Amino acid sequence: MNSFIESQDTEVFEALKKEDERQESSLELIASENFVSRAVLEAYHSSLTNKYAEGYPGKRYYNGCENADTIEQLAIDRAKQMFGSTYANVQPHSGAQANMAVFLACLNPGDTFMGMNLAHGGHLTHGSPVNFSGRTYKVVSYGVRQDNHRIDYEEVEKLAKANKPKLIVVGGSAYPRIIDFNRFGEIAKSVDAKLLADVAHISGLIVAGLHPSPIGICDFVTTTTHKTLRGPRGGIILSQSENEKILNSRVFPGVQGGPLMHVIAAKAVAFKEALQPSFKEYIARVIENANTLSEVFLKRGYRVISGGTDNHLVLVDVSVKGITGLDAANKLDEAHITVNKNGIPFDEKPPAVTSGIRLGSPALTTRGFGKLEFERVGQLICDLLDNLSDESTKIKVKQGVKELTDKYPMAHFKL
Ligand SMILES: *Cc1c(COP(=O)(O)O)cnc(C)c1O
């Protein structure tokens, strides 16, 4: 890291340098993470961080917003083009805030909505009692079937008929299978509920045309921009133009003040990248690589939730080897393999321990890893987990990690 910070603030500099080194030397398998391009990083680092631009392009509360307007309009137009929607709001600071704005547009405090159970792969903002969604509204949760770990669409329908929610939320953070948006559309229509697809994890697959799109079926679509979409940290909302007024006002001033214009610039750059044919090729590799990982776990005697994956993530039950998700994730971390512990459907262990780990292919695929490398990554993980108390295995696995990370340096992801 070649940096002016070094001369100004050594404490922050040292930690930033170590973070660069950590990313360079570890296998990043957290399913919600990715590596942005140099162009995205440069936009993120721009002087737009200095600018206040409350309002929307052409309708700002501050002066000096002409360049901010140009950039936000580019981001909006590209977002609409990516998804084929007639409305986009690119201001949400995060996926959670995008959801909050949609909730504010659809619900009053105390109203009922339905979302997927966090323990079955949903997200905190889909009704967890510790989140605003669970604290403000009445939540009815649905889950996956015990026999195949697919969303229990019949249960969704029954619960919707019985509870008449105003809003149904579909989407999750640890669901490895294709989501049937049409089925949700029929259910929502039959009870006159609005439908929100939160595609935070799979938006890159949707943009690439490698997962069915919720556009045209769901009233609202939210996504993060930093997961498979490979942009800066943030959120966006997509919808039909008839919802423009209410959604714009729920984002600002509803839940936010000034937009992060430097982040919006980085979103615009990332969206341009996602519109290139090479992005589709990237996502195809992401899916292939997740599948390769899943195959290794199955061959090595692990239980893969739902029996495999259709997307970028794999949820593995490590309890069949007598270990917890917590232990597995921590031991892997010591060998520079980064995953997260994750509850599995019908988990018997508490959320702080869990029986599973979640792994994703987006980041390492960006780094250049292909089928052979993912095969090796899977073998290294299984070698370690199968021999947790053996020091010589740990040394061998670390060596394997180093060979892989040395082969794919990260210099071209830096400014
Ligand atoms: C990651 C995620 C979010 C929240 O994103 P943040 O940017 O962390 O707030 C929302 N919904 C789902 C399904 C997610 O996976």
Atom of ligand 1 nearest to the CA of 198: 13
Distance from residue 95's CA to the centre of ligand 1 (Å): 5
* Closest to 320 (Cα-Cα) out of 341, 342, 301: 301
- pLDDT (tens place) for every residue of the chain, 415 residues total: 558 999 999 999 999 999 999 999 999 999 999 999 999 999 999 999 999 999 999 999 999 999 999 999 999 999 999 999 999 999 999 999 999 999 999 999 999 999 999 999 999 999 999 999 999 999 999 999 999 999 999 999 999 999 999 999 999 999 999 999 999 999 999 999 999 999 999 999 999 999 999 999 999 999 999 999 999 999 999 999 999 999 999 999 999 999 999 999 999 999 999 999 999 999 999 999 999 999 999 999 999 999 999 999 999 999 999 999 999 999 999 999 999 999 999 999 999 999 999 999 999 999 999 999 999 999 999 999 999 999 999 999 999 999 999 999 998 888 8
Distance from residue 107's CA to the centre of ligand 1 (Å): 20
Contact 48, 274 (CB under 8 A): no
Catalytic residue among 125, 136, 223, 224: 224
Q: What is the pLDDT of residues 334-376, one digit of tens each?
A: 999 999 999 999 999 999 999 999 999 999 999 999 999 999 9
Neighbour tally for 298: CB within 10 Å? 16
Does domain 277-412 bear CATH number 3.90.1150.10? yes
Atom of ligand 1 nearest to the CA of 171: 13
Domain map (residue ranges) of the chain: 41-274, 277-412
Catalytic residue among 20, 24, 33, 52: 52
Distance from residue 265's CA to the centre of ligand 1 (Å): 20
* Closest to 373 (Cα-Cα) out of 278, 296, 305, 303: 296
* Closest to 243 (Cα-Cα) out of 264, 201, 215, 278: 215
Distance from residue 339's CA to the centre of ligand 1 (Å): 17
Q: Is 375 a catalytic residue?
A: no
Q: Is 349 a catalytic residue?
A: no
Q: Is 233 a catalytic residue?
A: yes
Please give all residues whose beta carbon lies within 6 A of any atom in ligand 1, as ranges: 32, 94-96, 123, 125, 171-173, 198, 200-201, 224, 235
**272: its two tokens:** 């341009």
Contact 230, 204 (CB under 8 A): yes
Nearest CA to ligand 1 atom 5: 95
Q: Is 54 a catalytic residue?
A: yes
Class (C level, CATH) for 41-274:
alpha beta
Crossing angle of helices 391-407 and 371-386, rounded to 10°: 160
Which residue type occupies 382?
C
Catalytic residue among 6, 24, 54, 327: 54
Pocket test for ligand 1, best of 97, 102, 173 (most atoms within 8 A of CB): 173
Q: Is 227 a catalytic residue?
A: yes
Contact 355, 343 (CB under 8 A): yes
Q: What is the pLDDT of residues 105-134, one digit of tens each?
A: 999 999 999 999 999 999 999 999 999 999
Atom of ligand 1 nearest to the CA of 32: 1
Q: How far is CA 287 from CA 230, 337, 342, 362, 397, in A?
A: 15, 20, 20, 9, 25
Distance from residue 123's CA to the centre of ligand 1 (Å): 7
Distance from residue 96's CA to the centre of ligand 1 (Å): 6
